[in-house]
Amino acid sequence: MSSSRRVYKQFEDQQKRLLAQQEELVNLEEGGGGDEADKDKDDDHRRQRASHSHRVMEVVGQIAKSRRAANFDRKRERRGKDLLEDYFIPNIVFPYHVFRRRFRMQRSLFNKIMSAICNHDPYFVQKEDAFNVLGLLPEQKITGAFRMLAYGASADQVDEIARMGKITILESLMRFCFAIEALYTNEYLQKPTPRDMQKFLRKGEM
């Protein structure tokens, strides 16, 4: 059995145990009587449902936590500087049409999304660690997320591009998806209207 299937099986088993514990709590509460007991039961049930997602995420985090490996210098600062020189500073190495082809969007759109995500989740903002060493640039984290979504890149492939560890890559991807859903669901992540479809068809013909 592959490691990914093992992790998924462990997650399924843990989720079943959590659901069984919830059902047991609900059954115990149903043994009480009176309006006050019913009200307390409803309140507890709502709290359990509200915290269910949080508990599931904690379980996933425990399962996905890998054994602590020896750290090695990925030269992340140098790779961040190279990434900026390649695509994001005024005198870039690769022209705009190369950015458009590799990132599947215009650079102005990338910068707009990056700014919104950094304002929404400070995880993507560059910070200093306990040794006063600057961490990853937001361009590195968001580039990693885009490469995984656009090309189906693996964590090792993103590590080569952005110099990020596997856990950091997966956390960046998860937080990126949560931020996109929170920021753009109401405006963009909805079923297109007939007018939208006509606009897309005209754009496709052009």
The domain spans of the chain are 3-64, 76-184
How far is it, in rounded angstroms, from Cα 76 to Cα 81?
9
Question: Coil, strand, or helix at residue 27?
Answer: helix
Q: How high is the pLDDT of residue 186?
A: 82
Give the mean pLDDT per block of 10 residues along the chain (206 residues).
Answer: 58 67 60 53 56 56 53 70 83 86 89 93 86 84 90 83 84 91 84 86 87
Q: How high is the pLDDT of residue 36?
A: 54
Q: How high is the pLDDT of residue 129?
A: 74
Specify which residues 134 forms β-bridges with. Answer: 128
> Two tokens at 135?
């961490």
* Residue 48 identity: Q
Q: How high is the pLDDT of residue 130?
A: 74
In terms of C-beta density within 10 A (0-12 exposed, 13-18 middle, 19 or more buried), how is residue 170 classed?
Answer: middle
Residue 138: closest CA among 161, 155, 122: 122
What is this structure's pTM? 0.57
CB 103 within 8 A of CB 86: no
* Ramachandran area for residue 137 (φ above 0: left; ψ -120 to 50: alpha; else beta): beta
Q: How high is the pLDDT of residue 124?
A: 92
